[in-house]
């Protein structure tokens, strides 16, 4: 009851579980890693292992995932996620602008953070950002957009079946080993899918950002609309795009590509 009063009615942001805080005395740069939907901050462990010791690296579980709070009443929209990330960073005493690296849902959260709190962000690295147009007529591939929206509706409608088939998908490497959807987090997963991914303004927002943005996407990613990424590059000169031979999840060729991008952003 007290938790609901504080966070729902007084609008105090939740603080998130910090999985990694690789501190160093005089950091060359500070990097924040935000995971994708259905994942946890553990999905970044391989990247963290490859980064130099003079970079401070922070990873945390987003609301509804891993060890972070997952209240059932929460809408799990991008604004709520971004506010909780900022509240957690303030608690950690961050003193320098961040290189923010996001994957999927984490990339949308990173865009929202930069839009609302630009002073805390130095640059963005966005992996597999599912950028969808709020106005369908602006999407060059409306058929793909409609298919994806219908797919997401089916996922939400058949959440129990998704829970049952997730282990099989993991076994055949269709999704990463860190990906987990269960009865414990299914409500948060579906709420985040609907509020943050299906209904978003991230494509419009990224076009207005005044920070350097590197987008990395997998050549075989089924949920990224390439035309929308190209539109972001066309409309914002600070955005650049690269492709890796991968799918949507943060595995395989993604790991060295992201590590290299972080090092470049840190001036290495």
Strand intervals (E) in 23-137:
29-34, 55-60, 98-103, 121-127
Per mean pLDDT, which range of 41-45, 91-95, 204-208 is the poorest? Answer: 91-95
Q: How would residue 170 be classed by pLDDT, with cut points 50, 70 and 90?
A: very low
- Mean of the per-residue pLDDT values for the chain? 89
User: 2-265 architecture in CATH?
Assistant: 3-Layer(aba) Sandwich (3.40)
Distance of alpha carbon 127 from alpha carbon 94, whole angstroms: 23
213-218, strands of its sheet edge to edge:
18-22, 55-60, 29-34, 98-103, 121-127, 213-218, 239-244
* Inter-CA distances, 77 with 9, 241, 256, Å: 16, 26, 30
| Residue carrying the six token digits 């829970």 | 163
Q: How would residue 25 be classed by pLDDT, with cut points 50, 70 and 90?
A: confident
Nearest to 44 by CA among 131, 104, 97, 89: 104
pLDDT for 97: 95
pLDDT digits over 55-101, tens only?
999 999 999 999 999 998 899 999 999 999 999 999 999 978 999 99
Cα dihedral across residues 17, 184, 34, 48: positive or negative: positive
Q: How would residue 171 be classed by pLDDT, with cut points 50, 70 and 90?
A: very low
pLDDT digits over 210-267, tens only?
999 999 999 999 999 999 999 999 999 999 999 999 999 999 999 999 999 999 999 9
Is the pLDDT confidence value at 19 over 60?
Answer: yes
Q: Please say whether the beta carbons of 27 and 53 come within 8 A.
A: no
Q: How would residue 189 be classed by pLDDT, with cut points 50, 70 and 90?
A: confident
3-state secondary structure of 238: coil
Between vectors from CA 143 to CA 150 and to CA 201, what angle results, nearest 5°? 70
| Residue carrying the six token digits 């259905």 | 38
| Residue carrying the six token digits 């269709």 | 174
Distance of alpha carbon 66 from alpha carbon 106, whole angstroms: 14
pLDDT digits over 124-161, tens only?
999 999 999 876 554 454 578 888 888 888 888 887 76
Note if the pTM is more than 0.75.
yes
User: What does the DSSP 8-state code read for residue 198?
Assistant: I
């Amino acid at each position: 009851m007290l938790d609901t009063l504080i966070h729902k009615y007084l609008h105090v942001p939740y603080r998130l579980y910090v999985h990694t805080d690789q501190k160093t005395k005089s950091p060359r740069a500070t990097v924040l890693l935000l995971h994708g939907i259905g994942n946890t901050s553990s999905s970044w462990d391989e990247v963290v292992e490859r980064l130099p010791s003079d970079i401070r690296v922070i990873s945390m579980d987003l609301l509804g995932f891993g060890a972070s709070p997952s209240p059932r009443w929460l809408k799990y929209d991008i604004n709520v996620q971004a506010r909780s990330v900022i509240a957690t960073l303030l608690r950690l005493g961050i003193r320098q602008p961040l290189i923010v690296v996001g994957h999927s849902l984490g990339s949308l959260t990173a865009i929202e953070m930069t839009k609302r709190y630009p002073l805390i962000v130095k640059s963005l690295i966005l992996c597999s950002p599912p950028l969808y147009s709020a106005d369908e007529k602006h999407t060059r591939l409306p058929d793909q957009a409609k298919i994806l929206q219908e797919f997401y509706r089916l996922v939400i409608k058949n959440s129990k079946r998704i829970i049952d088939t997730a282990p099989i998908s993991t076994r055949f490497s269709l999704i990463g080993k860190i990906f987990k959807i269960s009865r414990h987090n299914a409500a948060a997963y579906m709420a985040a899918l609907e509020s943050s991914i299906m209904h978003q303004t991230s494509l419009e927002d990224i076009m207005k950002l005044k920070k350097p943005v590197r987008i990395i996407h997998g050549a075989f990613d089924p949920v990224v609309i390439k035309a929308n990424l190209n539109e972001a590059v066309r409309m914002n000169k600070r955005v650049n795009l690269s492709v890796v031979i991968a799918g949507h999840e943060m595995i395989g060729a993604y790991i060295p590509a992201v590590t290299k991008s972080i090092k470049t952003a840190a001036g290495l």
